[in-house]
């Protein structure tokens, strides 16, 4: 993409009503614009990152054997009356009525709808286990939206639902989700720690939240620092293996890690003091096992291998995709702007032309831009007639992990400059070598 032809309205000044880094930076980098309290338009750059996160979530869900679908944002109140949550959910649920006066609502989650679909179409244990999910906009009418997309009213979320014939199978689904979530966050370049949590309005017997550590997090978290050293890496995971999923889940849930909601000071005190970690965290996902809560309420049954009808065991799982975007920025930025992990960056590399209008420099940039595009590096070429300082500042603000600087001085020696956003380190090398190096970095992400 040529910056001169793109739509990325950046700002030098901080907007007055954005308080935290991710909110400020997303607005300044031209990623979002507020349309109403807690409701945002996603400008091209923000949308691009959102789609990348969404794709990673999809890929990891499918890898774990889960089946994508799409449910509507608007739901009928009837199903929610059946589960009893129409009254329980309170004012957080946006209630509306259609022209016939029928009670509708903008879905804050989808347990009722998916259970309805399931019970109408699945009757036998032979169709189980089954996990369905979708990634869709949700609306929760928060009393006090804030922090940009981190705590918006409208948000983009992956929510999935597993259906199993018995508890053991459902617990495997729980473990399988934990593993697939760990992998999802790792692929995004983030560390999100599973922590024992409260079940809240979803209800249930077991639940873990996933938290990204960041100073601006809304929860106080306590953990054994040993958990920070755990990595899934590229280990081969068989998502059908109950043992392997349980083993990985055990690995991550054995070190102490809890939010203030479930914190147990006595247990925490037993950890060697040098390993006691305490900080703030941003919740970016949660998994639940809630047994037959919804299947009982909504009469979702299957016939088991004994020929008897039994209520299905269920769980639900969510990843806040739009919130994740904010969380990544919170965890990865500096005073100059965002620092994107390679896996989710809006563009793979920024090309800065230091002397726009100079024949040689322009030609070198054009050639570089073309090669980078062919290599799939998705470059952003700053071809504006701006001075060097402005171009550097823009690149740093929007946070591309790599920058290639092309100027007459380097070209005289046949080199360009490759700069890492994270470390700030630069090296001079030929354009070919720079691209080769980047291609290697982006390979296999």
- Tell me the closest approach of the beta carbon of residue 442 to RNA, in angstroms: 22
Burial (CB count within 10 angstroms: exposed 0-12, middle 13-18, buried 19+), residue 73: middle
CB of 264 to RNA, least distance (A): 18
Q: Which is nearer to RNA, 187 or 317 (CB)?
A: 317
SS3 content of the chain, % helix, strand, coil (to 5): 40, 30, 35
Binding site residues, RNA, CB under 7 A: 10-17, 19, 34, 36-38, 92, 140, 142-147, 150-153, 155, 157, 200-202, 209, 218-219, 283-286, 318, 320, 322-323, 336, 354-357, 385-390, 392-394, 396-397, 405-410, 417, 419, 426
Cα 165 from Cα 301, distance rounded (Å): 9
Instruction: For residues 187 and 87, give the distance between their C-alpha atoms in angstroms, rounded to a whole number.
Output: 39
Looking at the Cβ atoms of 87 and 229, the one nearer to RNA is 87
Which of 237, 234, 259 has the alpha carbon at shortest distance from 248? 237
Of 137, 92, 267, residue with least CA distance to 195: 267
CA pair distance 282, 334, nearest whole angstrom:
18
Rounded distance between C-alpha atoms, residue 108 and residue 124, angstroms:
29
Instruction: Please state the closest distance from residue 331 (CB atom) to RNA, in A.
Output: 15
* Shortest spacing between CB 259 and RNA, in angstroms: 10
- Identify whether the C-beta of residue 46 lies closer than 8 Å to the C-beta of residue 398: no
Residue 400: CB minimum distance to RNA, A: 12
**3-class SS at 240?**
coil
* Residue closest to 112 by CA, chosen among 69, 141, 136, 78: 78
Using CA atoms of 239, 197, 315, 66 in order, give the dihedral in degrees to the nearest 10: -40
Paired tokens of 335: 């005073």
Residue closer to RNA by CB (options 131, 405) is 405
Through-space distance between the first and last CA atoms of the chain, rounded to whole angstroms: 21
Residue 79, number of CB atoms within 10 A of its CB: 18
- Alpha-carbon distance of 161 to 170, in angstroms, equals 10
Residue number, 72 or 408, with CB nearest to RNA? 408
Least Cβ distance, residue 9 to RNA (angstroms): 7
Question: Considering the complex, what minimum distance in angstroms separates the CB of residue 201 from RNA?
Answer: 7
User: How far is Cα of residue 439 from the mean position of the Cα atoms in its chain?
Assistant: 24
Q: Is 252 left (phi over 0), alpha (psi -120 to 50) or beta?
A: alpha
- Kindly tell me which of 116 and 383 has the beta carbon lying closer to RNA: 383
Nearer to RNA, 82 or 386 (CB): 386
Tokens 């259970």 locate to 115
**What is the nearest approach in angstroms of RNA to the Cβ of residue 174?**
16
Comparison of 54 and 386: residue with beta carbon closer to RNA:
386
Q: Minimum distance between the CB of residue 430 and RNA, rounded to whole angstroms?
A: 13
Name which of 200 and 376 has its Cβ closer to RNA: 200
Which residue, 93 or 302, has its beta carbon nearer to RNA? 93
Nearer Cβ to RNA, position 169 or 332?
A: 332
Question: Are the C-beta atoms of 296 and 344 separated by less than 8 Å?
Answer: no
Neighbour tally for 435: CB within 10 Å? 22
**Cβ at position 381, least distance to RNA in Å:** 15
């Amino acid at each position: 993409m040529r910056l001169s032809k793109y739509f990325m309205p950046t700002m030098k000044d901080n907007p007055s009503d954005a308080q935290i880094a991710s909110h400020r930076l997303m607005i300044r980098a031209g990623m979002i614009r507020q349309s109403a309290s807690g409701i945002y338009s996603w400008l091209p750059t923000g949308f691009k990152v959102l789609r990348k996160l969404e794709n990673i979530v999809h890929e990891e869900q499918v890898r774990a054997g889960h089946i994508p679908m799409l449910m509507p944002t608007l739901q009928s109140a009837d199903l929610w009356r059946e589960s009893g949550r129409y009254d329980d959910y309170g004012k957080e649920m946006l209630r509306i009525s259609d022209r016939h006066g029928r009670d509708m609502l903008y879905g804050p989650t989808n347990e009722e709808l998916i259970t309805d679909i399931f019970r109408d179409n699945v009757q036998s244990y032979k169709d189980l286990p089954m996990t369905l999910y979708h990634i869709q906009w949700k609306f929760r009418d928060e009393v006090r939206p804030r922090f940009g997309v981190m705590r918006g009213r409208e948000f983009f979320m992956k929510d999935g639902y597993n259906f199993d014939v018995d508890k053991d199978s459902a617990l495997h689904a729980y473990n399988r989700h934990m593993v697939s979530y760990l992998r999802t966050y790792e692929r995004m370049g983030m560390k999100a720690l599973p922590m024992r949590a409260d079940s809240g309005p979803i209800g249930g017997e077991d639940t873990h939240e996933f938290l990204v550590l960041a100073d601006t997090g809304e929860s106080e978290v306590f953990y054994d620092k040993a958990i920070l050293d755990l990595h899934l890496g590229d280990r081969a995971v068989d998502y059908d293996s109950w043992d392997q999923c349980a083993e990985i889940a055990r690995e991550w849930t054995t070190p102490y890690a809890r939010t203030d909601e479930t914190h147990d000071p006595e247990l925490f005190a037993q950890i060697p003091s040098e390993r006691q970690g305490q900080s703030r965290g941003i919740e970016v996902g949660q998994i639940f096992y809630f047994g037959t809560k919804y299947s009982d309420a909504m009469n979702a049954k299957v016939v088991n291998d004994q020929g008897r009808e039994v209520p299905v065991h269920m769980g639900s799982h969510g990843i806040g995709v739009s919130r994740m975007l904010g969380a990544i920025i919170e965890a990865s930025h500096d005073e100059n702007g965002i620092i994107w992990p390679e896996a989710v960056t809006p563009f793979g590399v920024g090309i800065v032309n230091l002397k726009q209008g100079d024949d040689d420099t322009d030609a070198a940039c054009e050639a570089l831009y073309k090669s980078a595009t062919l290599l799939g590096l998705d470059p952003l070429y700053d071809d504006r007639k701006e001075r060097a300082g402005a171009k550097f500042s823009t690149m740093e603000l929007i946070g591309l992990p790599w920058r290639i600087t092309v100027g007459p001085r380097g070209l005289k020696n046949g080199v360009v400059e490759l700069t890492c956003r994270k470390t700030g380190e630069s090296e001079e090398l030929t354009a070919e070598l720079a691209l080769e190096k980047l291609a290697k970095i982006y390979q296999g992400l």
